Chains A and B, each alone.
Chain A
Amino acid sequence: MNLVEFRDVKKYYKMGEVTIKAVDGISFSIEKGSFTVVVGSSGAGKTTVLNILGGMDSCTEGQVLVDGRDISKLSEKELVLFRRHEIGFVFQFYNLIQNLTARENVELATQICKDTIDAEKALQSVGLADRMDNFPAQLSGGEQQRVSIARALAKKPKLLLCDEPTGALDYNTGRNILKLLQKRSREDGLTVVLITHNTAITPMADRVIKMGSGKIVSDTINEHPVSVDDIEW
């Protein structure tokens, strides 16, 4: 069953006289519970896809169905609720609130949702049970990204979107984060969409969508995804 379906989605930006086609008519679908990686070089339009999917940006044309609902038709307010209840987001730079402890950062998300995972449990699940009362500045990059993931997971999202989650991390820490994401996907049946320019990690995905110049270059289903531990780059 497809959780996400893009139907001929286009996103044009007008910069004065020039029209930039950030996304130029793409269609794909993502099955529920799958782990999808969107790869492409800078400017391939993968971030735009993620933004549209996350309800942060609207498409110029086409339909975006999430769990059967066309989110391209939603109003601003509906999009807010869509983000709040259905999307979890993991940023490249973690985007933790510096003035809040790890637990409070998670609580920031749970405060506004109804059906949530307890902040402590969420942090436990990412392996940060003993750093809960630390401020972001007191945590390492990997730990901060874990807090960020815990924050996303605590909302019990339908869809977890990750924007280069390892981009700001060193190799090993990056692997751990990817492992964590894969584990959550496998164990909890969470649908994960991960954006990266690093093609090396594609084998871990159930599905790999390659983008270039706003178009889908290839859309392959990985019949045998491998564990992160087996990937080297």
Chain B
Amino acid sequence: MKEEGKHKKAKKYGMVINLDACTGCGACMVACMAENNVPFKEDESNKLDSIAWMRVYKLTNGKSYPEADICYLPRPCMHCEGDHGHSPCVSVCPATATDYNHDTGIVSQIYTRCFGCRYCMVACPYHARYFNWWDPVWPEGSTKYLSPNVSPRMRGIVEKCSFCFHRYQLAMDKAYVEGRTVLEENEYQTSCTQACPAGAITFGDLNNPEHKVHQLAKPDNKHGGRPGNPNVFRLLERLGTNPKVYYMSSREWVRRAGDNYLGDEDFAKTHRH
């Protein structure tokens, strides 16, 4: 390969989600389910046992009119690296069924190895991991529309957002055939990013200064990837999970909702930049 040796630095794929732009339409959830063959139940009203790799939360500032404000917060898997190099979920899996890929920063789930102990779900504070309580049942004829690039999961195992890793594999295959080892920014994008009509989701390599995601988040890798942009924050930053999904909002109450603070704590001081 011509470019071999040029690209030594590991990639770290991540997202910046602009919460001021998100309208809560749910297109990201739908796109994700279709792309990744996410199973669904006949009755999806109980959200405690239904699967949504990408889930949109509705946040409110708790104030009444005219100060009432809401915010929609899409939550994929955070693909945590951990401040000390251990993702909360990867380190606890007893059967090495979930793995942290140091080339891409993506946390994977090995469906054929997971035996369903659910310890990873217990370890994930974002509730990004889902258990297959039932075998997937697809409505008649709809199996033809399943993606051939993503294996459907069986009952009794855990699944979660993979940052559409199959898209990364396809893009890398294409690049390999073309004699490249480096992907262009637009060659690998997740389905939720592409489906968002408001363009609220930006996806790319956080380690690559040319990628928009890097420019928005300005991650400080010397300090656990903390965002350099004052309007950018991560969920539960204080726990040290070192997630790769960043959120952006100009509203302070939204940024404050991203983490827990003691009543008398100075948010501006505690919020790390």
Judge: A and B partners, yes or no.
no
